[in-house]
């Protein structure tokens, strides 16, 4: 007979006062741990990373959940859209929580200097307790941390120089700050496809993005076109993720896959149609905004289960094992380059050598991770995003490199 525990009223296990958060472990064994949280009105749990997969079940009341933020929309030097890898709080969400963000965006719209820093914000993670003492920071990190508050401040007032921005990135990796920027959710708000956080903030942020790309103030039509492009590219990336999952292998740079995901329906004089043979289960905060179009482009069935609005825009449920490893390399301008990996930091005297070592480490770590989860015949795709110092022509002027290794494989039948 299987032993079990029956609790008649979970809510009564933790009944907090108005100004506190209570937690109680009600069950734990080698495979599972069940914890009941009780939140007083207005209380928040600070941003953190769970060591294992977690399932949330709401017994009583209402709450808002942020899972990792949204993908930040950026612009490459040629004006093309970039999506991520940095995760940020959507501008419309920040303005909903902190109304002063709208006034700050209006100042940025009228600003003549600031470039890529305009329309971006820095603040402590939602729910951070006031007066929290942070130890183990460098002098520059401590100086920047002192400028960050629990309400948004413009990034251009916090970190202007390259060294400050590197220190800010380090603080974000440590979970001590969060940033806000333009995201696919903001584009969906401008297009009227999403209304979770209504208001003018998303459109103001979109105007800044258009001005940065076109080098002139964009009219309403250009703002709408830009947001439609962001929306379409998010759909394309969602399609690509689904096909990678179906193939159980990275698709890399495939013109056929790109044509299918872009909804073009043909490549040259040939028709293109790529579809998963099983239904796609869509879960995520704005999936209904994007996955109706996904179903059209891939000619597949998309299922929206009850309470599907719980995660991010790009994702799908399927039977594969996947792990992503990110290794960063930072140059300090003195000729030294630090690689930050799972086991700690290693210093190199060559930017090229540091990036090469990061690629090997990321690939090996990702492969080991999926194999430990039971994947067989796994494949790894490695991408490198570099940022060089002004006028630098090679990796000796490396400012930062983000090495991302994505490993995918189908689970062994025996697991």
- Give the 3-state secondary structure of residue 35: strand
What is the extent of the structural domain holding 295? Answer: 231-303
In a domain, 148, yes or no: yes
> E strands of 223-313, at which residues?
266-267, 270-271, 280-281, 302-303
Co-location of 160 and 263 in the same domain: no
Domain identity same for 161 and 210: yes
C-alpha span between 54 and 32 (Å, rounded): 10
- pTM of the prediction? 0.63
> Of the residues 269, 303, 337, which one is the last residue of a structural domain?
303
Domain check: are 79 and 157 in the same one?
yes
My answer on whether 280 and 348 are in the same domain is: no
Task: Return the CA Rg of the chain.
Answer: 23
Whether 166 contacts 330, CB under 8 Å:
yes
pLDDT in tens, the chain (415 residues): 456 667 777 777 777 766 666 777 777 777 677 888 887 776 666 545 454 556 777 777 766 555 456 888 888 878 888 887 678 899 999 999 999 999 999 999 988 776 778 899 999 887 766 666 667 788 888 898 989 999 999 999 888 888 888 888 888 887 788 999 999 999 999 999 998 888 899 999 999 999 999 888 778 999 999 999 999 999 998 898 888 888 877 777 788 899 999 988 888 999 988 998 888 878 766 788 999 999 999 999 888 876 556 444 333 344 455 678 889 999 877 889 999 887 788 999 999 999 999 999 999 988 888 777 666 677 888 888 888 877 778 888 888 899 988 887 665 544 4
Angle at 324 between CA 145 and CA 289, to 5 degrees: 85
Query: Are 121 and 94 a contacting pair, CB within 8 Å?
Result: yes
Do 248 and 148 lie in one domain? The reply is no
How far is Cα 49 from Cα 28, in angstroms, rounded to an integer? 20
| Structural domain includes residue 226 | no
Domain count, the chain: 3
Residues 211 and 291 in one domain: no
78 and 205 belong to one structural domain? yes
In a domain, 361, yes or no: yes
Is residue 33 domain-resident? no
């Amino acid at each position: 007979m299987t032993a079990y525990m029956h609790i008649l009223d979970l809510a009564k296990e933790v009944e907090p006062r108005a100004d506190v958060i209570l937690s109680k472990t009600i069950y734990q064994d080698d495979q599972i741990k069940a914890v009941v949280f009780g939140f007083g009105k207005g209380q928040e749990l600070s941003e953190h990373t769970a060591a294992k997969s977690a399932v949330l079940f709401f017994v009583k009341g209402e709450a808002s959940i942020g899972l990792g933020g949204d993908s930040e929309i950026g612009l490459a030097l040629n004006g093309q859209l970039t999506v991520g890898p940095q995760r940020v709080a959507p501008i419309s969400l920040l303005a909903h929580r902190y109304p002063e963000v709208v006034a700050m965006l209006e100042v940025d719209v009228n600003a003549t200097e600031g470039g890529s820093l305009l329309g971006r914000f820095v603040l402590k993670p939602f729910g951070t307790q006031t007066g929290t003492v942070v130890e183990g920071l460098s002098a520059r990190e401590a100086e920047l941390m002192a400028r960050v508050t629990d309400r948004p401040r413009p990034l251009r007032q916090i970190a202007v120089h390259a060294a400050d921005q590197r220190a800010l990135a380090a603080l974000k990796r440590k979970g001590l700050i969060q940033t806000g920027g333009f995201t696919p959710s903001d584009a969906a708000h401008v297009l009227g496809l999403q209304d979770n956080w209504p208001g003018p903030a998303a459109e103001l942020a979109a105007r800044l993005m258009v001005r940065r790309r076109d080098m002139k103030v964009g009219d309403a039509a250009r703002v709408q076109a830009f947001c439609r492009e962001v929306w379409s590219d998010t759909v394309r990336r969602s399609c690509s993720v689904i096909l990678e999952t179906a193939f159980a292998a990275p698709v890399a740079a495939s013109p056929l896959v790109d044509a299918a995901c872009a909804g073009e329906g043909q490549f040259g004089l040939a028709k293109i149609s790529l579809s998963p043979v099983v239904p796609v289960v869509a879960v995520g905060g704005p999936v209904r905004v994007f996955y109706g179009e996904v179903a059209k482009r891939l000619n597949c069935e998309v299922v929206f289960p009850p309470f599907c609005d719980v995660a991010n825009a790009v994702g799908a449920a399927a039977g594969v094992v996947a792990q992503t490893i990110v290794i960063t390399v930072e140059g300090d301008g003195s000729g030294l380059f630090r690689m930050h990996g799972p086991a700690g930091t290693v210093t190199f005297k060559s930017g090229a050598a540091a990036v090469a070592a990061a690629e090997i480490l990321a690939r090996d770590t990702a492969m080991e991770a999926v194999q430990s989860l039971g994947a067989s015949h796994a494949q790894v795709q490695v991408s490198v995003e570099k940022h060089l110092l002004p006028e630098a022509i090679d990796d000796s002027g490396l400012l930062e490199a983000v090495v991302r290794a994505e490993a995918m494989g189908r689970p062994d039948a025996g697991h």
